[in-house]
Structure 1
Amino acid sequence: MKVFITGIGSGLGKGLAEIFVKKRSEVYALGRKIPEDLIGKVTFEKCDLQRLEYISTSLEKLLSNVESLDLIILNAGVLTKLKDIHDTPIYEMEMMMDVNVWANKVILDYIIDRNIKVDQIVAISSGASVNGNRGWHGYSISKASLNMLIKLYSREMEDTHLVSLAPGLIMTPMLEEFVLSSDEEKFPSVRRIKSAIKMTPSEAAEKIYNSLHILKTFDSGSYIDIRNI
């Protein structure tokens, strides 16, 4: 199995890379860093996905000899500290849009232009894309945009099955730094997240791996919350 994953430096991306390596898949990865324990086990190209103008060059270095992929997981994403949208500067919103949405457009355009055949694409979305909780500012907007981006590409990539997937609550560095440390009185979702059961990145990655065949039973372009399947 040939798999391409973005953002394997930590959290869910690292967990996904590890499980596919364990399953003896051929893993290609793009992101800012590679964990030491994955060096030599995946084919990696360093790329800051916020720098949109460099993504195609990095993809060419990584995938120039690849004619087909069984699976693409668009995992890389960024969140900043929870705050009211009124207090969130435009540059911060633009940064989240660049990484969470437009970087994925550049990647999908490269795949189409290079005529790389892909069986399945899973874009990692979030429940924040639909619930509109206070404090989630540009992250909610960018993930909602990602859902629509995937739906639109599903209309054009007719031989590929695409979904955007909310993976559930995962105890990641991003969650700990920007969510669990936030004011739970001002942002009620924080209290709910603190009390909710959370998966480790490895548990979440295994759940996604085991759900891949189920995802393909949904219409291409769907938004799916893994907690509902």
Structure 2
Amino acid sequence: MSDVGQQWPRTAAVFGASGGIGAALVRKLADRGVGTIYAGSRNGSAPEATGLIPFSFDLTDEASIACAAESMRANSPELVIVATGVLTLADGTGPERTYKRLDSAAMGEVFALNTIGPAMIAKYMLPLLRRNRRAVFAALSARVGSISENGLGGWHSYRASKAALNMLLKNFAIELGRTHDQAVVVGLHPGTVDSALSQPFQSGLPAGQLTDPTEAAANLLGVLNGLGPDQSGKFFDWKGEEIPA
């Protein structure tokens, strides 16, 4: 069954719909006429939009993710975006600038939110993707997760959690490609977006480097629209340029 000449996606799911980028993605998808948009957040809140179906999930609670996926089974999404992530923890703990500041509990929390949580979403959402049509699973990553581009060091837990996420996405792409020849699994770097995640690190940024969430969402959806199965397993920035692992 071909999607040529048809609206794509007809159904989408955004995990992290209450965040700056996630909420903007939901609104952009609604503006583009996506018929059904599942919008997930920890408390079930989401921006108002036509065709919106809110749901709640917790990145650290696998059962909640399984329940959310099951609620979408009857009308499964063709596009899944994981727009979650943490840079500064709830208690104010930020990225470690030196290995001397590493803390096992904080490191475990960063990995739980940036790596394990998205992996659990993939575990339950990838099986819902249809084999006979275009399907995309994308997760927000970060350029600092690129091992080959790392020339500064520091930010240990954040860098490592995103590098691990990129590896998992590559694994998922290989496995899914064996059964879904139209599927795409990718990581996305949205740039420096004006959101709660980047707020503590915005001072001193060069003019024009900070992107509005609405613009970032449009950029990311534009990138996704241009990707095909040959790009599955790779990592792209908001301009559509591939970032090396």
Tell me how far apart the structure 2 counterparts of residues 16 and 54 of structure 1 sit (CA, whole Å): 22
Tell me how far apart the structure 2 counterparts of residues 227 and 210 of structure 1 sit (CA, whole Å): 9
Residues 24/39 of structure 1: CA separation in 2 closer, same or farther (3 Å cut): closer
Greater mean alpha carbon deviation, residues 31-40 or residues 218-227: 31-40
Q: Secondary structure at the match of 1:174?
A: coil
Tell me how far apart the structure 1 counterparts of residues 165 and 106 of structure 2 sit (CA, whole Å): 17
Residue 94 (str. 1) matches residue 104 (str. 2):
no
Tell me how far apart the structure 2 counterparts of residues 225 and 40 of structure 1 sit (CA, whole Å): 29
| Contact residue 26 and residue 37 of structure 2 kept, 8 A | yes
1:43 to 50, 53, 62: 53
1:176 to 199, 204, 208: 199
Q: Secondary structure at the match of 1:121?
A: strand
Equivalent residue for 2:3?
none
Instruction: Tell me the amino acid that sits aligned with residue 180 of structure 1.
Output: Q
Give the aligned length: 215
Equivalent residue for 1:18?
27
Superposition map of 1:55-94 within 5 A? 55-60=65-70, 62-66=71-75, 68-80=76-88, 81-84=94-97, 85-94=99-108
Residues 12/112 of structure 1: CA separation in 2 closer, same or farther (3 Å cut): closer
2:168 to 149, 174, 177: 149
Higher helix share: 1
Tell me how far apart the structure 2 counterparts of residues 203 and 2 of structure 1 sit (CA, whole Å): 22
Query: Any idea what the Cα deviations from partners look like across 1:176-229, whole Å, max 9, x if unmatched?
Result: 13x236xxxxxxxxx4x4555211000100111222222337521011223453
Tell me how far apart the structure 1 counterparts of residues 57 and 125 of structure 2 sit (CA, whole Å): 17
**What RMSD in Å do the two structures reach over aligned CA positions?**
2.3
Tell me how far apart the structure 2 counterparts of residues 40 and 155 of structure 1 sit (CA, whole Å): 35
Tell me how far apart the structure 1 counterparts of residues 115 and 13 of structure 2 sit (CA, whole Å): 17
Question: Per-residue deviation at 1:9?
Answer: 0.8
Residues 40/226 of structure 1: CA separation in 2 closer, same or farther (3 Å cut): closer
Question: TM-score, normalized by length of structure 2?
Answer: 0.78
Tell me how far apart the structure 1 counterparts of residues 229 and 125 of structure 2 sit (CA, whole Å): 23
Tell me how far apart the structure 2 counterparts of residues 206 and 228 of structure 1 sit (CA, whole Å): 12
Residue segments in structure 2 that go unaligned for 5+ positions in a row: 1-9, 89-93
Residues 138/56 of structure 1: CA separation in 2 closer, same or farther (3 Å cut): same
- Matched-pair identity in %: 24
Tell me how far apart the structure 1 counterparts of residues 104 and 156 of structure 2 sit (CA, whole Å): 10
Equivalent residue for 2:6?
none
Question: TM-score, normalized by length of structure 1?
Answer: 0.83
1:6 to 15, 20, 24: 15
Instruction: Tell me the amino acid that sits aligned with residue 208 of structure 1.
Output: L
Tell me how far apart the structure 2 counterparts of residues 96 and 223 of structure 1 sit (CA, whole Å): 20
Greater mean alpha carbon deviation, residues 209-218 or residues 9-18: 209-218
4+ aligned runs moved over 3 Å, structure 1: 33-37, 131-135, 193-196
Residue 215 (str. 1) matches residue 227 (str. 2):
yes
